Amino acid sequence: MSDTGSIAILLSFFITIYSLVVCAFSAKTGSRAFARSGGNGIVSVAFLLLVAVCCLVYELVTLDFSLRYVALNTSTDLPVIYRVTALWAGQAGSLLLWSFVLSLYAAFVVLRSREKGGDPYVNAVLCAVSLFFLFLIAYVEDPFEKLGVSVGEGRGLNPILQNGYMAIHPVTLYIGYVGITVPFAFGIGALLSGRLGDEWIRNCRKYALFSWMFLSAGLLLGARWAYLELGWGGYWAWDPVENAAFMPWLAGTAFLHSVMIQERKAMLKKWNMILLVITFFLSIFGTFITRSGIVSSVHSFARSDIGPLFVGFMVLILVFSFALLAYRSKDLESEEKFDSPLSRESAFLFNNLLFLAAAFSVFLGTIFPVLSEAFTGKKILVGPPYFNAVGVPIGLVLILLMGVGPLVSWKKASTANLKRNFVFPAVVFVVVFLALLVSGMREPVALLSFALCGFVAGTVFLEYFRGIRVRSGRGENPVSALFNLISRNRRRYGGYIVHLGVVLLVTGITASSLFVTQKEVVLDKGDSFSLGRYDVVFRGVRFISNDAKDGFSAELSIESQGKSVATMYPEKNIYKYEGNREINQETEVALRSTFRDDLYLILSEVDRSGKVNIRALLNPMVNWIWAGGIVIVLGAIVTMWPERRRKKEFSA
Amino acid sequence: MSEYVISFLLVVLVSVFTVYPLFLGYRRGERGIGDKPEVSRLEELYEKRDLYYSSIKDIELDRDMGKLSEQDYAELMSRYKEKAAAVTKLISELQSVAGDEKITGETRTSPFDAPLS
């Protein structure tokens, strides 16, 4: 099947060139035949890349070690599910996945816009971006490259990738990452065609929200994977590859808010274009960071020659986009002005600036080691102290704005109304702040963060309460009023659900970052220690062995208030096969999770006498982070849910 | 051998699908770029009008929730009603320009173009 896969990729490359040319031609001449042909080419590429993906999966599952990619990323001991997920374990497979997801998006755009005649400018931009990635997999990182020698065993999949979350995290993230290409294509298409009315921004918003939702989910799934697999007790380390996905998320969030201003007030048109270009650029930059290995990271499992090609592509994106923007600058003048600094528009603009500042600070921190090494020869690492020092203040102000924004109206808010609207959320802020202070909390960032989360929650509650009250005043019962409030104002009230999810997320992050308790102990059989409300007793260690690994598992009984609540088995394993794994030892953490806290146990060492070195952490409220992620996704779905439209008849 | 057959069929199928539109004449009245721009424009105007109606709804809700003063409410309502009226007028004019041909369409705004129930 490898030859079929290779042919499918090559054919995709040439058909994309064809589609790009005919779309550009049809844009110039208005020819429907060429537009249709270009669109069909785009749909064909999606089919061909599906074939290529299926071929590679087939080769991975059947362990065809004659292929370099299969030999590098699988082994005979690998369970079938991880042979499938090996599709995105390596460079070439990841690039194939990128191309495939993009082809699906492009095909969807073509098919959806077909009844309106399609937009050849948008299609041409999608082809141009696809062409770059297809070139990479056709000529630089071929997933079907033959090994040239016969081998009986593969090098295997890194054990830390053998985890359920790693099965879905990359795909989810890619749907988000790659999806940013579509709004970018609509924006550039609008600049190319000169049709800078409302249509492009409406199309942009829908696709941007869809990809943002998946990017959010992908980031959190990755954090969850890191928490479970990397075994250091945390979920976010400001790793370059984590930052690579976080930056477009920050810029994308700014864009989603800013778009609302353009839709309602025809303002910030230039700004939105710039934001869109920046968001797309950051998604490509993020791919470059991950794929080129330019910044070393626990995530960067491969290094290759694609770095210079990516740099060239990024330069082209920036130069082309900003040149077009400059050319169309006059057509992007705002139709209205800001009426007042005390308005939702102003709050959104301030929110934009902060998100961009955050994205820029993360960008700077991520590339600084590369720049320092390039200019001084010394690699200066930038870690959590920098990112937290910059990110925390920005984050706190953003949470405040998240609460303020819904309280002010479009155009301007009168002082009297502001005072009235702020009372309840302000009271919640003060109550939370004082309650925590009285309980003994003194950490200022935590106090402020929790109190601001209370403020935002108060705002959201007030919006829902008042909205339900208004509808109940019209005769609806509260349940119907709530349902109708959401269903008839999906963007607004779905957005509030997203904000509530962010509140849960931030609460969880604050608690788990600032109030971790940990201990490192050496235990003999029967020894115990206490951590928070838990008493942990070491019952013994046993040797475990299977086809893939040998290792030790420690049995630890967990008690709370004298009652047995769990038995936990942290492991330390040694994988049998060497190879491209930088680590052949891996710890499997044992985790007891509740909404209150997580008991996180790591088996660091086992000595000959059977004593174990256990590192134990009590991480408060980590589950609030994952719960917040679920609420964010639900809120995004509500926002995107189709609204009923009446049938329209166009007639003379 | 079978892999080469599959690959050959793939090449033929995809190539035919991609280029066949160049050899077909488009049926009179079929929508496409530059064809019946009034219809695309009409759909754009309907969406614009719906957006103004949605804004009016938001303004009313904000007023009922006490976030807008009566003066601001009156000013905003007047502005958006004017815009909606202007767009409605344009729609009527374009409908008359669209000619005798009756085109019935559904405008969908969902990301996945879910059919209307």
Taking CB atoms and an 8 Å limit, are B17 and A210 in contact across chains?
A: no
| Residue in A159, A194, A493, A227 with CA at minimum distance from that of residue A330 | A194
What is the nearest CA distance from A408 to chain B, expressed in angstroms? 7
Residue matched to tokens 């961009």: A356
pLDDT of A198 above 80: no
What are the distances in angstroms from CA A42 to CA A89, A120, A345, A613? 27, 11, 39, 57
Taking CB atoms and an 8 Å limit, are B3 and A642 in contact across chains?
A: no
Q: Which residue of A has its CA nearest to B75?
A: A411
More confident residue, B97 or A461: A461
pLDDT for A341 equals 66
- 3-state class (DSSP) for residue A146: strand
- 3-state class (DSSP) for residue A144: coil
pLDDT for B36 equals 47
Taking CB atoms and an 8 Å limit, are B14 and A48 in contact across chains?
A: yes
Complex ipTM, two decimals?
0.78
Residues of chain B in contact with residue A410, where contact means CB-CB under 8 angstroms, are: 55, 58-59, 62, 76
* Rounded-to-integer distance, Cα A285 and Cα A369, Å: 15
Q: How many CB atoms lie within 10 A of CB A646?
A: 10
Taking CB atoms and an 8 Å limit, are A199 and B44 in contact across chains?
A: yes
pLDDT for A339 equals 60
Q: How many CB atoms lie within 10 A of CB B70?
A: 9
pLDDT for A233 equals 86
Q: Which residue of B has its CA nearest to A647?
A: B106
- Mean pLDDT along residues B95-117: 44
Q: Name which of B4, B5, B11, B14 to mutate to probe chain A: the one with the most chain A Cβ atoms within 10 A of its Cβ.
A: B14
Query: For helices A269-292 and A344-376, what crossing angle results, to 10°?
Result: 30
pLDDT digits (tens, 9 = 90+) for A411-429: 665 667 777 788 899 999 9
pTM, two decimal places: 0.89
- 3-state class (DSSP) for residue A549: strand
Which residues, including other chains, have CB under 8 Å from residue A323's CB and lie 6 or more apart? none
The two tokens of residue A316 are 């082209």
The two tokens of residue A430 are 């003060």
* Rounded-to-integer distance, Cα A627 and Cα A600, Å: 18
Considering A192-206, A328-342, A362-376, A453-467, the range whose residues carry the highest mean pLDDT is A453-467
* Rounded-to-integer distance, Cα A362 and Cα A359, Å: 5
What is the nearest CA distance from A115 to chain B, expressed in angstroms? 7
pLDDT digits (tens, 9 = 90+) for A397-408: 999 999 988 887
Residues of chain A in contact with residue B67, where contact means CB-CB under 8 angstroms, are: 407-409, 413, 417, 421
The two tokens of residue A453 are 């989360």
**Of B3, B32, B44, Cβ closest to residue A117:** B32
What is the nearest CA distance from B117 to chain A, expressed in angstroms? 8
DSSP A133: H
Which residues, including other chains, have CB under 8 Å from residue A43's CB and lie 6 or more apart? A107, A110, A111, B17
- Phi, psi torsion values for A170, nearest 5 degrees: -65, -40
Helix segments in A266-331, DSSP class H: 269-292, 307-327
Question: Per DSSP, what are the bridge partners of residue A619?
Answer: A598
pLDDT for A414 equals 63
* Rounded-to-integer distance, Cα A244 and Cα A227, Å: 18
* Rounded-to-integer distance, Cα A553 and Cα A568, Å: 9
* Rounded-to-integer distance, Cα A451 and Cα A437, Å: 11
Residues of chain B in contact with residue A474, where contact means CB-CB under 8 angstroms, are: none
Q: Are strands A571-575 and A585-588 parallel, antiparallel or unpaired?
A: antiparallel
Which residues, including other chains, have CB under 8 Å from residue A87's CB and lie 6 or more apart? A53, A56, A57, A60, A93, A96, A97
pLDDT digits (tens, 9 = 90+) for A532-579: 999 999 999 988 887 667 889 999 999 998 899 999 999 988 876 654
